[in-house]
A and B are shown apart, each in its own frame.
Chain A
């Protein structure tokens, strides 16, 4: 398994069943049995998916007696989102400068160069 944490998060979320589990945990905590109910797979298979999500830091299991509900660590998603948002904002700033350049360009294109198909 990849060593760096973000790769673990991205690869954990690469699986559609795990993404679905995360989406359902976003609504509220649930037990393994509750999470397994809608799927045509064993509780063991769901436990395996949960282990991957847990290793990536995306979910945690409480020690609450028998129930041991699974909890979504929403903070991890917030940080991921912020991280990508910052990059997006950089690109947006760059493209606003491109907007200005496009506005300053003359309306008419220069005559096409020889051999330029269109």
Chain B
């Protein structure tokens, strides 16, 4: 573990319904890219803790598609999308849909920047079609405390 790893930064844009996540890694772009495209590596980090992740297929090339399933004691949650543009070590443009809400889709752009010295900055921009969808996306998968926090926010705003 090196001290140079920066913590994840997140911006929820006030003008456009998007979320931008930025994170730096102590690895060259080629490795970070491979960890995003090789299903055997992806399954080791993408799935939330405490959930089983199964990759149905993951064909990361322009025009390819993917589908994976998270499962826990309560059931299965499927996610799928298409890859629109894939440039090794640089860029992945893809769609993302939770099968439980099939009408909602996010357009995701992952950009890898070579920082030199074997370091990479990853920027992930997720764009959805409304602020309500974006806020639901931010709130998804959160624990009860946050849901309660949101309810409290509703109350504060309703005054």
Contacts and interface: CB of A to CB of B under 8 A. Distances in A.
Does A associate with B in a complex?
Answer: yes
Interface of A: 2, 4-11, 13-14, 56-57, 60, 73, 75-76, 79-80, 82-84, 86-88, 90-95, 97-103, 105, 109, 116, 118
A10 B157 CA distance: 13
Nearest to A76: B156
Contact of A95 (B23, B31, B139): B23
Q: Which 9 A-B pairs have the closest CB atoms?
A: A57-B157, A97-B45, A5-B157, A7-B131, A102-B27, A92-B8, A79-B153, A88-B10, A98-B45
Given A82-B146, A83-B150, A91 B156 contact: no
Contacts of B157: 5, 8-9, 56-57, 76
Interface residues of B, number: 49
Interface of B: 1, 5, 7-10, 12, 14-15, 19, 21, 23, 25-27, 30-32, 34-35, 41, 44-46, 48-49, 88-89, 122, 130-132, 135, 138-139, 141-143, 145-146, 149-150, 152-154, 156-159
Given A7-B135, A57-B156, A101 B41 contact: yes
B131 A6 contact: yes
Contacts, number: 121
A91 B8 contact: yes
A101 B49 contact: no
A14 B19 CA distance: 15
Contact of B8 (A2, A14, A95, A100): A95
